[in-house]
Amino acid sequence: MVPVGVVGLSPAWDARYRPALQSLRARIAVRAVYDPVLSRADQAASELGAQAVDGMRVLARRDDIRALLVFDTGWAGTEALHLLCAAGRPMFVGGALTADEGALKTLGEASVACGAMIMPELGQRYTPATCRLRELMATRLGRPMQIQIEASAPAVPRDGQPLGRHPWDEFVSRLADWCCYVVPTPPSEVAVHTQNGSGSEAIRFSFARPRSGGESPFVDVTLRTEQAVPADEALPPIYRVRCERGEAEVRSSHRIIWRTDRDEADESLASERSDLQVMLDHFCRRVVGGLIPVADLGDLRRSHRLARAASESMRTGAPVHLNGQA
């Protein structure tokens, strides 16, 4: 069991984070809770059998915790993460981190200097359907050759809006991270084509050719952007994946349809663990010394770079060659 401290009770606390922690009581023991609103911290601590504290620095330096779960840093943003880094404790950071390249680079350097692992929340990697897709690629389908994604996205940023600070950029960065997680070779080019009159954008992420030979994988993303779509009302993206020996379609976070020449299935994964439960479990396994791979700030920086490359291609009308930089 890993003793942890919780920093910040985000707006998603009741719907997302608290249920996940309660389901993982056998693995995670919450010892302390901090939130700027002390009454909220008191209530959450009471529910989890923990102690409410009145400062994040005090919480981070407690002797009875081994790691930090940072669900909300409030107005302090990444400055709060720098403060917490000083304690040298591994951190799981929930929600969206800054897309500012300089801030992420500085935070990464600070975490290395303090010996504090930082795992960002990249939930699309760990949905039951994505986990099953990777399992099928390893056993039945083979490596991915072509992926088509259809999704409803926030409206395209207007000219002059800062890159990385618009919901469109954040949305695209999350899709880009999913693509890089599924495709085993690094991205090589990003190109955006505006489909006039259709209210959508078409993005192609091209990836390097595998060392073993064969076709260069690519991902075509169709973003319906005719109007702003609230996050809680948008339909989930649909992923269609063509592989060496078959194909799969991810219809939701808990449903996947796949087929090969010999087999086919429509699988419901509603009974599987949620993406957050999987992430927290992997985080705890790393905290106790396990070698299981987890997302890090380098993954986050790469996905933001790809989103910025998409914005640049959309602005200029020309492909952006990555030259391995992503």
| pLDDT of 163 | 47
Helix, strand or coil for residue 31?
strand
Q: What is the mean pLDDT of residues 24-46?
A: 95
In words, the CATH class of domain 124-273+303-321 is alpha beta
- According to the model, what pLDDT value does residue 226 have? 56
Report the alpha-carbon distance of residue 325 to residue 308 in Å, rounded: 12
Question: How large is the average pLDDT for residues 242-254?
Answer: 96
What's the mean pLDDT in 138-150?
95
Judge if 2-121 and 124-273+303-321 fold alike in CATH terms. Answer: no
Give me the pLDDT at residue 313, please: 92
pLDDT of residue 19: 95
Q: Cα–Cα distance between 274 and 279 in angstroms, integer?
A: 9
Mean pLDDT for the chain overall: 89
What is the band of 129 on the pLDDT scale with cuts at 50, 70, 90? very high
The C-alpha atoms of residue 72 and residue 186 are separated, in whole angstroms, by 32
Q: Is the pLDDT of residue 229 over 60?
A: no
Give the model's confidence band at 99: pLDDT under 50 very low, under 70 low, under 90 confident, else very high: low
CB 306 within 8 A of CB 99: no
pLDDT, position 302: 93
d(CA 311, CA 163): 7
Tokens representing residue 87 in the block: 């304690």
Least confident stretch, 14-28, 60-74, 208-222, 275-289? 208-222
Q: Burial of 42 by CB count in 10 Å (0-12 exposed, 13-18 middle, 19+ buried)? A: middle
The per-residue pLDDT for 70 is 95
Grade residue 165 by pLDDT with cuts at 50, 70 and 90. low
Q: What is the pLDDT of residue 196?
A: 60
**pLDDT cut 90: percent of the chain above it:** 67
In the CATH hierarchy, which fold is given to the domain comprising 2-121?
Rossmann fold (3.40.50)
- The full set of domain ranges for the chain reads 2-121, 124-273+303-321
